[in-house]
A and B are shown apart, each in its own frame.
Chain A
Amino acid sequence: GAVVSQHPSRVICKSGTSVKIECRSLDFQATTMFWYRQFPKQSLMLMATSNEGSKATYEQGVEKDKFLINHASLTLSTLTVTSAHPEDSSFYICSARDTGGQETQYFGPGTRLLVL
């Protein structure tokens, strides 16, 4: 149980285009999902908290107009990187907090984004 999927696992796009990443909780409901960014050999940096049915909460320094988050259902959150630039290339990981569980976050496998 407690499986979180991400799609795509890897994406390459041209500078200026937008990329959408999906995060799904497969066997549990998650009113809260989190989006992280991870640079090589570094820890996770929380970008935003995605709440089902409401606006996402962004961490300081994260541009909400660039990283659009939608949490339309209890099992799906999407992160759209708009007008992507090479500096947006990174590993993006989502997690979902099990509403029925004990404050446990379950992580997706991550999405590797490369912007050319």
Chain B
Amino acid sequence: AQSVTQPDIHITVSEGASLELRCNYSYGATPYLFWYVQSPGQGLQLLLKYFSGDTLVQGIKGFEAEFKRSQSSFNLRKPSVHWSDAAEYFCAVGPSGSARQLTFGSGTQLTVLP
């Protein structure tokens, strides 16, 4: 069965510092990988996705992620964090099942210090 692990429950960085959020997955085939961001009381916004091709994908808001098959990882990065980046971040892998649903990680809460 597929699974997603986000090892860091909570990360705190200073504004302007670089950021890396970790995501490891277990999947039986070539996965589709996603990063979503959720602000308090809001739905999820798609940051970026990987299906195939270039393993370094660019997303919105200056985020990027790199697919590393050998490490089963899809870490999210940003070179300089802004205070508005404070939110919950979810990694997801799919599709699976007849409905082709996604499997989500437990999330990483990002706090940005001024």
Within 8 A of B (CB), among A9-34: 32, 34
- Residues in B with CB closer than 8 Å to A57 are 98-99
Does B43 sit at the interface, judged by CB under 8 A? yes
Contact A42 B43 (CB under 8 A): no
Secondary structure of the A contact surface, majority rule? strand
A contacts with B, residue count (CB < 8 A): 27
With A32-B99, A103-B51 as contacts: A109 and B43 at CB distance below 8 Å: yes
A38-63 contacts to B (CB < 8 Å): 41-44, 46, 49, 51, 57
Taking a contact as CB atoms under 8 Å apart, the answer to whether B100 and A110 are in contact is no
Interface size on B, residues (CB 8 A): 24
Cβ of A103 and Cβ of B90 under 8 Å apart? Answer: no
Which of B17-25, B73-81, B101-109 binds A?
B101-109
**Contact, CB under 8 Å: B100 / A103:** yes
Residues of B contacting A: mostly? strand
Assess the B46–A106 pair: CB atoms within 8 A: yes
B42 interfacial contact with A, CB 8 Å: yes
A91–B36 CA distance with the chains assembled, in angstroms? 17
Give the residues in chain A near B114, CB-CB below 8 Å.
none
Contacts of A109 in B (CB 8 A): 42-43
Q: Is the CB of B49 within 8 A of A104?
A: yes
When the two chains form their complex, are residues B104 and A44 in contact, meaning their CB atoms are under 8 A apart?
yes
A30 to B45, CA, bound (A): 17
**A104 touching B46 by the CB < 8 A rule?**
yes
The interface bits of chain B over 35-49 (1 if a CB of A lies within 8 angstroms of the residue's CB, else 0) are: 010000111111001
Candidates A34, A46, A93, A102; contact of B32 at CB < 8 Å: A102
Q: Is there contact, CB below 8 Å, between B46 and A110?
A: no
Determine whether B67 belongs to the interface, using a CB cutoff of 8 Å to chain A.
no
Question: Are A42's CB and B106's CB within 8 A?
Answer: yes
Could you show 13 A-B contacts with beta carbons less than 8 Å apart?
A32-B99, A44-B90, A44-B104, A93-B43, A95-B44, A103-B94, A104-B46, A105-B34, A105-B102, A107-B43, A107-B44, A107-B45, A109-B43
